[in-house]
Structure 1
């Protein structure tokens, strides 16, 4: 999926297909936001999706189409990930992480809910990265550090 493929219905089919095909031990979804640090998302909600996507679609009743709980929280230890990321030296270009409880009620959170619901909360994380203020290389290094910490925690 490209960075411009912002559509709920594509998430409905693509995420479950990718999980079924690859059956990864860990999936880290990444989205961009107008933030100054990495945000480690803790949960995704089933409701409140009222933003229209690029296909001019909005979920019926503002709810995710998958049946499931109102909120799903990752089982990954986000607090430990946060602490380790921020403590590790050398720092990645001053990039820090913070814990977030709101992934945005749009495609990012919708994707996170889909993945948490399809495969379970022990194998899924969503990370928001800043879209400005850091180079692509610095963001990549930060994401690599997150992946390394998560794999060690598993």
Structure 2
């Protein structure tokens, strides 16, 4: 019998005006409403909006769970749709986190490449997701924001332990309910899994 396909999905806690972070609400709702199916081993993890926490927690998650796919989810106040981030940059992190800190020299990984790209074809996933859920807008981006969202994405990509992805969701009820966001998130992650399995 083949071992289960393992997926870890993270969501962030509150920060600034986001007293309830739509990312964590969406991740929880996705799991509560069926997860990713009975053949997928799903682990969801809450992450504080702190660079140091990301540095400590993300490597542990890869080591402990050994997932084939890790998906980080964050909220963007500018987002009007579910956004699949194609890549993450290594430098110019200058915005303080919840603990009032920034990465040293504004850099995620001292020896890292300037930009890392996901091994997943995000444009193809977005196109397929829109066919499945035409009422939920899905788009791609190459600018993840140079804050904790891009920082956690770069951290996972730099570890090179498996496929990594980042999904931005808009604030709750701006355009979509938490149920709709959970449905959209489930769809894109399922397509990511299908893409990995087809390699």
SS, match of residue 47 in structure 1 = coil
Post-superposition offset of 1:41:
0.1
Q: Does the CA contact (< 8 Å) of 2:12 and 2:74 recur in 1?
A: no
TM-score normalized by structure 2?
0.72
SS at 1:6 equivalent: coil
Q: Name the residue aligned to 2:159.
A: 118
2:184 aligns with 142
Q: Of 74, 91, 97, which residue of structure 2 is paired with 1:53?
A: 97
Change (3 A) 1:2 1:71: closer
Do residues 129 (structure 1) and 169 (structure 2) align? yes
Give the superposition deviation at 1:66: 4.9
Q: Quick one: higher RCO (CA 8 Å, sep 6+), 1 or 2?
A: 1
Q: Which of 56, 60, 64 lines up with 1:17 in the alignment?
A: 60
CA contact under 8 A between 1:16 and 1:118: conserved in structure 2?
A: yes
Trace 1:33-52 onto structure 2 (pairs within 5 A): 33-34=76-77, 35-52=79-96
Correspondence for 1:83: 127
Distance 1:44 1:38, change over 3 A: same
Query: Unpaired segments of 5 or more residues in structure 1?
Result: none
Q: Distance in 1 between matches of 2:108 and 2:165?
A: 18
Instruction: Quote the offset at 1:96 in angstroms.
Output: 1.1
Q: Secondary structure at the match of 1:58?
A: coil
Secondary structure of the corresponding residue to residue 84 of structure 2: strand
